[in-house]
Amino acid sequence: MEKSRRILAYGILAIVILILALTGIIVAIMHIPIEGSSGDIAVIDLDGTIYSRGTEEGLFSDYQPGVEDYIEWIEDAQEDDGTKAIIIRINSPGGEAIASEKLAKAIKEASEKKVVVAYVESMAASAAYQAASSTDYIVAEKQSLVGNIGVRMEIIHYYGLMDDLGINVTTIKSGEYKDIGSPTRPMTEEEKEMLGSIVNESYDDFVSWVAENRNMTLEETYKVADGRIYSGSQAKKAGLVDMVGTEEDAIDIAAEMAGISGEPELYEYGGKSSGFLGMKFNDALYSFGYGLGKGLAETSVEETSPSYGMYF
């Protein structure tokens, strides 16, 4: 009798999982944007750290869009005949150098076809400011944080801890600099200079981009691009933003620049989801179905990351 009950319970559980998975697929289909769904102004949320690839969504974790998501939304809005202007709503501390450059170029290309306005709500620092500088006009809240223009490379070292623990590492390498940035040994001054030259080259490109898009001279830009962070009102004085204002101001500016008469209709793209527990029911089912299918289809692959990277 007990065995029969267990079999029945497992059978019911399997049916429930199957129903939820199928429901997730159906909801996923429902989530596909309908062609022509747009508004006078497209609003794209640039929220969180800028990465090349978005983070995975789980039962209790958020999905963070990657730069490819942002570029896709920008291109959709750019190609939509019903959309007259684009607003990039920014709440970001910056991110990866290469991802940031891709995003800035995509925004710049969009601004050559349609009006693009940046609205800095809480923060547009480093890479996020590079994105903002690529637009036609920047509106920032008075108490927002703007700037932090610069490049950094982080290298983690733990050879001191290894010495304390009595751990030794033997490195066999093909060339003198093959293990540059290794966390298991101190860096030489020559190696620091080599990596520093890469950082400085990237920094010069960053400054040149800002100078060109903000109609500033290189000398003017270098003076304000020393890594410091400005408030919205300070950034206005430094020439890094065009107006201190609210999101409503950004909407009004975008509508005026795009020649939109009357009350503009807004259409929002993307954003960060809040995980399974914070979702609406349909979104939760979609997440469950997607996660189940992905888990069944893929094998686990262990990934290793480099000990250093370059960030805006």
Q: Which sequence positions are flagged as catalytic?
A: 126, 178
Mapped onto helix, strand or coil, the DSSP state of residue 34 is coil
CA atoms within 13 A on the CB side of 171: 13
How far is Cα 41 from Cα 26, in angstroms, rounded to an integer? Answer: 29
DSSP string of 233-286, one letter each residue? HHHHHHTS-SEE--HHHHHHHHHHHHT--SSPPEEEE-----HHHHS-HHHHHH
Nearest to 72 by CA among 114, 108, 103: 103
Amino acid at 283: D
Beta bridge mates, 147: 125, 229
Q: H or E element: which one contains 135? A: none
Q: List CB contacts of 140: < 8 A, sequence separation 6 or more.
A: 119, 120, 124, 146, 232, 235, 236, 241, 243, 244, 245
Among the listed residues 290, 258, 288, the one whose alpha carbon sits nearest the alpha carbon of residue 82: 258
Helices 281-297 and 2-30 sit at what angle, rounded to 10 degrees? Answer: 110
Q: Distances in Å between the alpha carbon of 173 and those of 129, 177, 178?
A: 40, 8, 6
